[in-house]
């Protein structure tokens, strides 16, 4: 409470936030296994022991780092019509939040991240399926979701050169008829 100095609670909050930010970046870059507490601490400019003090374990730190994803992605698509999926193209192809990237980076090799990914994708599928017509709505919803996943993985994580310089609008344009077809609409 001394003037000119931050309250200790506030100071701690900011330090935690800085650690989380560094953790997300490193997890997103190299995945859970290759990201080390020491590396995260160094990037956040804090002592490695402090990271453990605050978050208890590497596992819990990872959970905290990717947790936001669930909420954020839950708000993404949102509404009722298929055009919204196309709308998310911009987000998916642009700057996806670090927490999402962190989760995706590890989803094939870290059980916790895999479970998280299944949950997020599953919710997306559910939401889509409600708005799609036909018997096979769920299958179509799943495939739409996986198309987006594939494009995102190729672009953001594998960084394929074929998509490197291409503007989002161009990708969205080429992809649109394809998604419309999956949504069960015959014509454009």
Where do contacts with a copy of itself occur on this chain (CB under 8 A)?
Answer: 30-34, 104-109, 114, 117-118, 121-122, 125, 136, 138-143, 145-151, 153-155, 157-158, 160-163, 166, 170-171, 174-175, 177-182
SS3 percent helix, strand, coil of the chain, rounded to 5, is 75, 0, 25
Choose between 27 and 124: whose C-beta lies nearer to DNA.
Answer: 27
List the helix and strand counts (H, then E) for the chain.
10, 0
- What single DSSP character describes residue 166? -
Beta strands in 78-117 (DSSP E): none
The CA distances from residue 146 to 24, 61, 109, 127, in Å, are: 23, 28, 18, 14
Binding-site member from 13, 14, 38, 173 for DNA (CB under 7 A): 38
Q: Does 50 bind DNA (CB under 7 A)?
A: yes
Choose between 60 and 95: whose C-beta lies nearer to DNA.
Answer: 60
Distance CA 92, CA 88 (A): 6
The pattern of x and - marking residues 52 through 81 that bind DNA according to CB under 7 A reads xx--xxxx----------------------
Look at residue 22 and give the partner it binds from a copy of itself, DNA, none, a contact being a CB closer than 5 to 8 Å depending on partner kind.
none
Q: Which tokens hold the place of 56?
A: 């208890």
Q: Which range in 50-58, 88-96, 147-155, 162-170 contacts DNA by CB under 7 A?
A: 50-58
């Amino acid at each position: 409470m001394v003037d000119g100095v931050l309250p200790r609670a506030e100071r701690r909050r900011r330090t935690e936030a800085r650690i989380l930010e560094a953790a997300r970046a490193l997890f997103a870059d190299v995945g859970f296994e290759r990201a080390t507490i020491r590396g995260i601490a160094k990037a956040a400019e804090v002592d490695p022991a402090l990271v453990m003090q605050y978050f208890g374990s590497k596992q819990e730190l990872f959970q905290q780092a990717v947790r936001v994803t669930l909420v954020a992605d839950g708000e993404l698509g949102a509404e009722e019509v298929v055009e919204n999926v196309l709308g998310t193209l911009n987000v998916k192809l642009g700057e996806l939040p670090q927490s999402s990237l962190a989760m995706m980076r590890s989803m094939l090799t870290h059980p916790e991240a895999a479970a998280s990914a299944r949950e997020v994708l599953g919710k997306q599928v559910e939401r889509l399926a409600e708005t799609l017509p036909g018997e096979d709505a769920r299958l179509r919803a799943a495939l739409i979701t996986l198309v987006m996943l594939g494009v995102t993985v190729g672009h953001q994580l594998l960084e394929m050169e074929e998509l490197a310089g291409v503007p989002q609008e161009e990708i969205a344009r080429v992809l649109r008829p394809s998604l419309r077809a999956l949504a069960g609409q015959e014509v454009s």
